[in-house]
Structure 1
């Protein structure tokens, strides 16, 4: 997945316009953190600071930011689900990536623009300062990268044009708190710069996103990339020999043929009576899990789901029960322009003349022009790969049968969530309407 924030630069004394682009990439499926060196490494001051020091944000700050991030996940989901462009389509995105990107942007925001970003992200400005938020994100990112999972990484990178000079303190905060790698590029060589960025992104996403940038405006002055990568293997894999063709009910009038995986085993399940939803937990061989949510009525689940529900489910999923489970294999990609969505969430000024991003540079008037988010998700017998911002949801009816073994069949639209069990961090969230598109 990637989130793109694109800026416009306008000098008072000149008619020349340039673009400052902030691209945020979240790829739950990427492997490793390659060391591709585009052009010259960007100076950030003392290289010994930041990376090797874990900012142990206070427990209260960590709790406040985590709660805000969880709430933001479902508010953003509901905005995406309600958008006209999302009707009848899969939804999948990385709220962890989007919130990290916007938090990094808030480092350079001031005044009302900063207030809107904080409010939109759910941060209580009377209890949290920008420094608090930065320290918590540093802790979150370093914890994610210090785990034993080889196929998981998170971080950011910033590409700055030789002609553009952001404030050193802005770059230093990105490096220290958001683990940003920095590179100098010559954006007047548009094709070459685009190729440099694309190669970097391809490495970070294990080839899942191989052409993030189709073309570049030669006046671009900055790109900030935020990525989250995860590839997980099921704790108990499905047997490919049991996968068969079956129908998936997109709606009352539409059926599509899918490869339906099957396993009879002990599963962690929960039936939420408030939301009329059956929840299935599929743990990976790590601290991460996928939750599949099969509602009786999708709107009831979409409109009602909250962080409290996820917390309740995870606490209740302690006693495995025998089930005959059917889940479709699928591979999907999504792409969003989040300008309207974020505007509807109160983050309005950053897109226009009222933008105050003087924390990035005093010399220019900067404004965000585009926020783009892309993602992929692949689910098969071995496990799941995801690169943020794509919706995958498959749900099929209530699946509780008293005898002999309950059948839980995801053959109609359902929601999907990938979470870190120890922290309840939501890496990915979405809905599978049609696993074949």
Structure 2
């Protein structure tokens, strides 16, 4: 089964893999705090949530290279780190390690990186540029931002190429005062370790809420799965591994709000540690979801306010005065479908006297569920979301 977990690009975006497990947990805490900000808005509109926290953090960390004073402190604090315990150099080295590992050829079809587009008339500080290139593997391009249409097209074409066409319109309107555009991107395409048979996919109903049902194409696979029943949250957790070191976790709660309010990195760690193999007949809807967010208000509510206004201190980027972030945008796509190959099946008939055989338990994701794409070894969260309606 092919699963395309596309990809986030932002003016500012990302999360962090830092060397120690403790710092990974703090980075994942940022993921869930950001999720709850999205959920507070999406729930009122019945919208799906799909975003890439690690991409949001990467861009924020890259920005922090050029931030100073209170602006720098807010960025560190907003990401969940204590600037008195963690230096900027520590942060930069951590991202260098993460980006090197994320771009490892063993991780199937994956790419991760950053880019800055700089106005021809704007001069970046050499130290800022060197750090971005060394630690964040940043591509640097000079553009003429006075030509807004051409500059936007240049950025969009770059993003489209890096995400295999998944994100093709990141930039719609450029602020006329733009002098630099910072991007973080991730593309991941994984294959299920055990593929779904397309012949078993059938139309069925998905219960959006008590009053709304929609028709979906429901994939089916009977196999041994690692699963866990969280009796505290009244939620069932299913792990679907990819052929790489990543897995998708699907969480089906009795009450979504209970799960959303309590989920965090320590609980995810518990699930992974306590999962046991069990034979199940699993049904999962196919879906292709694209989301777009303006993160200005979200990040401000998380304490990162100064970078957006006159109080911004970005003097590590350039000698120019009055630099501030005008807009933070985030786009992500997540596609889940079956394998392109056709599985071969043989049927034999063995006549014997059988005892009673209990039917295989059915686990059907036919109502709203949460989804996480996670790297199993370091437990870093690549994608996080909630599927309310697979058809929108």
Task: Compute the TM-score of the two structures, normalised by the length of structure 1.
Answer: 0.81
TM superposition outliers: structure 1 runs of 4+ over 4 Å = 23-26
Q: Which residue, 143, 152, 163 being the options, matches 1:185?
A: 143
Task: Deviation per CA, 1:12-64: give whole Å up to 9, x if none.
Answer: xxxxxxxxxx45489xxxxxxxxxxxxxxxxxxxxxxxxxxxxxxxx995334
Q: Distance in 2 between matches of 1:315 and 1:84?
A: 31
Q: Is residue 273 of structure 1 aligned with residue 228 of structure 2?
A: no
Q: Is residue 369 of structure 1 aligned with residue 326 of structure 2?
A: yes
Q: Which residue, 92, 95, 119 being the options, matches 2:50?
A: 92
- Residue in structure 2 matched with residue 328 of structure 1 by the alignment: 285
- Residue in structure 2 matched with residue 202 of structure 1 by the alignment: 160
The answer to whether the 8 Å contact 1:333/1:375 transfers is yes
Which SS does the other structure have where 2:169 is aligned? Answer: coil
Structure 2 gaps, min length 5: 1-6, 341-356
Which SS does the other structure have where 1:117 is aligned? Answer: helix
Shift of 1:253: 0.6
Q: Is residue 432 of structure 1 aligned with residue 387 of structure 2?
A: yes
- Residue in structure 2 matched with residue 244 of structure 1 by the alignment: 202
Task: Deviation per CA, 1:205-228: give whole Å up to 9, x if none.
Answer: 001112222243454211111111
The answer to whether the 8 Å contact 2:8/2:333 transfers is no
Shift of 1:3: 4.8
**Structure 1 residues 182, 74: closer, same or farther in 2, change over 3 A?**
same
Q: Distance in 2 between matches of 1:218 and 1:302?
A: 40
Q: Is residue 313 of structure 1 aligned with residue 268 of structure 2?
A: no
Matches within 5 A, 1:21-420: 22-24=11-13, 62-83=20-41, 87-317=45-275, 319-382=276-339, 403-420=358-375
Which SS does the other structure have where 2:108 is aligned? Answer: coil
The answer to whether the 8 Å contact 2:14/2:58 transfers is no
Task: Deviation per CA, 1:241-299: give whole Å up to 9, x if none.
Answer: 11111110000010000000111111111101111110000001111100000001000
Task: Deviation per CA, 1:92-126: give whole Å up to 9, x if none.
Answer: 10010011111111111111111111111001222
**Structure 1 residues 357, 334: closer, same or farther in 2, change over 3 A?**
same
Task: Deviation per CA, 1:358-413: give whole Å up to 9, x if none.
Answer: 11122221111211111111000129xxxxxxxxxxxxxxxxxx942111000000
Q: Distance in 2 between matches of 1:23 and 1:103?
A: 9
Q: Distance in 1 between matches of 2:331 and 2:260?
A: 21
The CA RMSD measured in Å over matched residues stands at 1.9
Task: Compute the TM-score of the two structures, normalised by the length of structure 2.
Answer: 0.90
Q: Distance in 2 between matches of 1:23 and 1:133?
A: 16
Which SS does the other structure have where 2:187 is aligned? Answer: strand
Q: Distance in 1 between matches of 2:18 and 2:135?
A: 18
Q: Distance in 2 between matches of 1:85 and 1:251?
A: 12
The answer to whether the 8 Å contact 2:18/2:98 transfers is no
Task: Deviation per CA, 1:176-204: give whole Å up to 9, x if none.
Answer: 11110111112222222222111111110
Aligned length: 369
Shift of 1:90: 0.2
The answer to whether the 8 Å contact 2:9/2:332 transfers is no
Shift of 1:355: 1.0
- Residue in structure 1 matched with residue 352 of structure 2 by the alignment: none
The answer to whether the 8 Å contact 2:281/2:363 transfers is yes
Task: Deviation per CA, 1:54-93: give whole Å up to 9, x if none.
Answer: xxxxx99533431221110111101111126763110010
**Structure 1 residues 112, 121: closer, same or farther in 2, change over 3 A?**
same
